[in-house]
């Protein structure tokens, strides 16, 4: 779903008063099914867009045709920007459309709508193969970002330690179906996984936020730091080209492929925090993959192979002829 297309659909409806999915598809140069999904998305987001069945029907804005957005309520304006804001992050055209849309709003609604557009971001690049549902707490935190009020969090870190802290919520990012809250704390900017937040209680205290803060830039700074930790070790492997998409699924952005083939096989560069992390993932490939370097990854693979042979030789449950000294 493209943010600029949603804005264009809304403006077309304002100009014409009523439009069918087929007419909108022709105007936007998309399929009828895509146009219908866009119209349904606008309606589901709370924009006053309604279908009218029967002869002469179609989709229209409540109240008829309008040449500007002054007919939108404050809640409806926020709903529109919450819908199209995240999708606009990677498109200059969509950002331009949002700026024009913002200027068309009444002055009293602009601050809340602008805050809604910058409250949420979606980063489509994967960090592995895990999937998470959208936590119910996202809506509550999103409201705190828009209203700019401090939030008292009870948070459980990776070591399952609970802490309580008062934070300034700055924005939310959906990364591979895992939601993250970027917030200001006494120690500066911090990132909190939403699925580890136990409670989040908004307060009456106004939140502080740097004047030059943008969610897009702040998140990419977080990504850069994480990538540095996750790509400390690089390995070069050879594999049949048809299997490269599977490696990309396993390693995400830490999988790079050379353009040229090496004796019919693709040369692929993979990264992970340690040689053991790479070896663990590659062990299941068996002879289908060959590690060229570094020697540390080859050594870990050889060790894992020896342990598997030892563990799985002899009667089941016996532990094999030799006890493994280290498990992967």
The ranges of the chain annotated as CATH 3.30.70 are 231-311
| Residue 95: per-residue pLDDT | 61
Per the CB < 8 A criterion, the answer to whether 36 and 69 are in contact is no
- Fold adopted by 3-78+91-108: Arc Repressor Mutant, subunit A (1.10.10)
Average pLDDT over residues 216-233: 84
User: Is 8's pLDDT higher than 80?
Assistant: no
| Residue 53: per-residue pLDDT | 73
pLDDT-derived band at 65 (thresholds 50, 70, 90) equals very low
Looking at per-residue pLDDT, the higher value among 211 and 270 belongs to: 270
| Residue 61: per-residue pLDDT | 76
User: Is 305's pLDDT higher than 80?
Assistant: yes
| Residue 205: per-residue pLDDT | 94
pLDDT-derived band at 99 (thresholds 50, 70, 90) equals low
pLDDT tens-digit profile of 158-172?
888 899 999 999 999
b/e burial code for range 117-141 (CB count within 10 A of at least 16 → b)? bbbbbebeebbeeeeeeebebbebb
Residue in the block written with tokens 């979606």 = 122
pLDDT-derived band at 13 (thresholds 50, 70, 90) equals confident
The ranges of the chain annotated as CATH 2.30.30.520 are 137-213
| Residue 1: per-residue pLDDT | 45
How far are the Cα atoms of 205, 306, 314, 324, 326 from residue 317, in angstroms, in the given order? 61, 18, 9, 13, 17
pLDDT-derived band at 328 (thresholds 50, 70, 90) equals very low
Structure tokens at 283: 């062990």
**Quick one: angle between helices 107-117 and 92-104, nearest 10?**
150
The ranges of the chain annotated as CATH 1.10.10.10 are 3-78+91-108
| Residue 313: per-residue pLDDT | 80
- Fold adopted by 137-213: SH3 type barrels. (2.30.30)
For the chain, where are the E strands, in sequence order? 18-19, 49-52, 58-61, 120-123, 149-156, 162-175, 178-185, 188-193, 197-206, 233-240, 255-262, 265-272, 289-293
Per the CB < 8 A criterion, the answer to whether 191 and 150 are in contact is no
pLDDT-derived band at 317 (thresholds 50, 70, 90) equals low
CATH class of 231-311: alpha beta
Looking at per-residue pLDDT, the higher value among 246 and 55 belongs to: 246
pLDDT tens-digit profile of 227-262?
888 788 999 999 998 899 999 888 887 899 987 777
User: Is 23's pLDDT higher than 80?
Assistant: yes
| Residue 126: per-residue pLDDT | 59
Q: Which of 29-33, 46-50, 190-194, 236-240 has the lowest mean pLDDT?
A: 46-50
Secondary structure (3-state) at 191: strand
User: Is 4's pLDDT higher than 70?
Assistant: no
Looking at per-residue pLDDT, the higher value among 162 and 87 belongs to: 162
Looking at per-residue pLDDT, the higher value among 106 and 283 belongs to: 283
Per the CB < 8 A criterion, the answer to whether 183 and 192 are in contact is yes
Looking at per-residue pLDDT, the higher value among 138 and 136 belongs to: 138
Average pLDDT over residues 92-110: 61
User: Is 19's pLDDT higher than 70?
Assistant: yes
Report the C-alpha gap between 30 and 51 in whole angstroms: 19
User: Is 33's pLDDT higher than 50?
Assistant: yes
Neighbours of 272 (CB within 10 A): 21
pLDDT-derived band at 117 (thresholds 50, 70, 90) equals low
Report the C-alpha gap between 180 and 199 in whole angstroms: 14
| Residue 303: per-residue pLDDT | 94
- Host H or E run for residue 300: helix 295-311
pLDDT tens-digit profile of 174-186?
887 789 999 999 9
Q: What is the average pLDDT value for the chain, to the nearest integer?
A: 79
State what percent of residues in the chain have pLDDT above 90: 28
Q: Please classify residue 6 by burial: count the beta carbons closer than 10 Å to its beta carbon, then call 0-12 exposed, 13-18 middle and 19+ buried.
A: buried
Report the C-alpha gap between 44 and 40 in whole angstroms: 6
């Amino acid at each position: 779903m493209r943010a600029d297309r949603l804005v264009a659909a809304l403006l077309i409806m304002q100009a014409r008063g009523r439009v069918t999915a087929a007419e909108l598809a022709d105007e936007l140069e998309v399929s009828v099914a895509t146009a219908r999904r866009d119209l349904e998305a606008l309606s589901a987001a709370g924009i006053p867009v309604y279908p009218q069945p029967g002869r002469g029907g179609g989709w229209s804005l409540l109240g008829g045709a309008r040449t500007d957005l002054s007919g939108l309520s404050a809640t409806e304006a926020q709903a529109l920007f919450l819908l199209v804001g995240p999708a606009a992050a990677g498109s200059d055209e969509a950002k331009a459309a949002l700026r024009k849309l913002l200027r068309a709003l009444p002055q009293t609604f602009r601050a809340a709508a602008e805050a809604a557009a910058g409250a949420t971001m979606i980063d489509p690049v994967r960090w592995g193969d895990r999937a998470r549902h959208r936590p119910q707490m996202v809506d509550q935190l999103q409201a705190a970002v828009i209203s700019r009020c401090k939030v008292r969090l009870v948070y459980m870190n990776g070591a399952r330690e609970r802490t309580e802290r008062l934070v300034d919520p700055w924005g939310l990012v959906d990364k591979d179906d895992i939601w993250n809250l970027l917030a200001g704390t006494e120690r500066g900017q911090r990132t909190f996984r939403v699925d580890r937040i136990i409670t989040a209680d908004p307060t009456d205290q106004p939140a502080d936020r740097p004047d030059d803060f943008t969610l897009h830039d702040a998140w990419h700074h977080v990504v850069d730091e994480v990538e540095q930790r996750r790509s400390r070790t690089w390995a070069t492997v050879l594999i049949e080209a048809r299997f490269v998409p599977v490696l990309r699924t396993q390693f995400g952005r830490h999988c790079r492929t050379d353009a040229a083939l090496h004796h019919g096989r693709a040369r692929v560069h993979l990264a992970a925090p340690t040689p053991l992390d790479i070896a663990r993932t590659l062990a299941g490939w068996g002879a289908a993959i060959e590690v060229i370097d570094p020697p540390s990854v080859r050594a870990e693979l050889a060790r894992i192979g020896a342990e598997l042979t030892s563990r799985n030789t002899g009667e089941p449950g016996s532990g094999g002829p030799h006890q493994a000294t280290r498990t992967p």
